[in-house]
Amino acid sequence: MQLTRIAQTCMLTLFGALAGHAGADTLEGARTHIAEQAKALEPELLETRRDLHAHPELGNTEKRTSELVAKQLRAMGLEVKTGVARTGVVAILKGALPGPTVALRADMDALPVKEVSDLPFASKAKGTYLGKEVDVMHACGHDAHTAILLSAAKILTGMRDTLPGTVVFYFQPAEEGPSDFIPDGKNTWGAKMMIEEGVMKSPKPDAVFGLHVWAGVPAGRIAYRAGPNLASSDDLRIKILGKQTHAGRPWDGIDPITVGAQTIVGLQTVVSRRTDISSYPSVVSIGTINGGTRYNIIPESVDMSGTIRSYDYGIRQKLHADVRQTVEKIAESGGAKAEVTIIEKYDPTINDPALTEKMLPTLRWAAKDDVVQGPLVGGAEDFSFYAKEAPGLFVFLGITPKDQDMSKAAPNHNPGFFVDEAALVVGVRTLASLATDYLYGNAKP
């Protein structure tokens, strides 16, 4: 009986420390542990990152990467599930004490880019992209993301006995898109497919966190933004149907090339004259035009493709309607017909304002106060789908050497993309402390 009372007293004391904001001692102790372990694990972190960098894999083909990830997670004693969304890996860490659930996410795929560097671990890998052999490179830093999350998982696993709650680790494939099929609006991949397969249902996270390394930002600096952060990304595909004829007798046919040119010009008015950009900007761009076989033949049709970007769901849907109307009416005015297909790929990534404000002190600690508010990013991220299911926070980690001209840094997706590895330990501190600060800050007795 006496032992039981002592045990109850100890538990009440511990839970009292975890209540509210967990108590300064608990929080500071966790941060001290994270800082020490992140530094101690740095050699292992870099070894993993370099191994992944030398062996990149395209979206939906990350077999070697997922095997490496699963092996390391199992060695930590975590509950591991593989084959999620084809090649994804999910691991669950259950703390010894009751509490909320947080999810941490890293993407694993590379890009069809040929690396230009003299690094000893530079990629020489080949892969198959839409049926063609291509060079493959981690030109967006997903190798760094994977290595950072593995180190964070190892640190958090070492804190299991005092951890109030659960941490779920998402190692996701195909963030850059699938390499084995063209998106058609029906087949899913990456984050959306992970969610469809139930990763956010059991257990259901109360918050989800992620980061992305970014060129042109000093190494170790964290950039954040509350609310809309990255744009939505929708594929725009247009077919202009005319009537083939001799180019010397254009009146005998309907010229889809001329109509296509008018369409490109007309599409620019969708944003400049029909979209309210006083709150958020929008973009409609045409990236490809294909039509014709010979200089003196007006072709039967012209195909164009492009992208639509926005940061607001309402503006996004209005853009779609305006684009359709503009293309169809311009084609009609030229006697042609237009087929417009818009495929919604990624939603805008929106950081939960309350969560962002709450976790800002954590970001400042992790980056040693080198934290700035970032601009809207025109790129897209399928982290957006996780952030629709639970409050989310997605931040950027600078990886350009501090002594370099930031404006001249090779950007993400460039063959010369370079990661200053000194920044990666900041990424480890960031993900690990976002998890612990949230868990301790929301623990209840």
Catalytic residue among 42, 339, 344, 421: 421
Q: CA 148, 153, 158: angle at the middle one, nearest 5?
A: 130
176 assigned binding-site residue: yes
CB atoms within 10 A of CB 26: 18
Catalytic residue among 129, 170, 346, 386: 346
CB atoms within 10 A of CB 75: 11
Residue 346: active-site member: yes
The answer to whether residues 323 and 308 touch, using CB atoms and an 8 Å cutoff, is yes
CB atoms within 10 A of CB 265: 9
- The SS3 call for residue 11 is helix
53 assigned binding-site residue: no
Q: Are strands 337-346 and 233-241 parallel, antiparallel or unpaired?
A: antiparallel
Residue 421: active-site member: yes
Q: CA 14, 20, 23: angle at the middle one, nearest 5?
A: 55
- The residues facing 349 across adjacent strands are 230
246 assigned binding-site residue: no
* Residue 307 φ then ψ, to 5°: -140, 150
Half-sphere exposure of 22 (CA within 13 A, CB side): 24
Residue 111 buriedness (CB in 10 A; 0-12 / 13-18 / 19+): buried
- What letter represents residue 143's amino acid? D
21 assigned binding-site residue: no
36 assigned binding-site residue: no
Q: CA 248, 251, 257: angle at the middle one, nearest 5?
A: 75
- What letter represents residue 379's amino acid? G
Active site positions, annotated: 346, 421
Residues forming the annotated binding site for Mn(2+)?
A: 140, 142, 176, 212, 413
Residues forming the annotated binding site?
A: 140, 142, 176, 212, 413
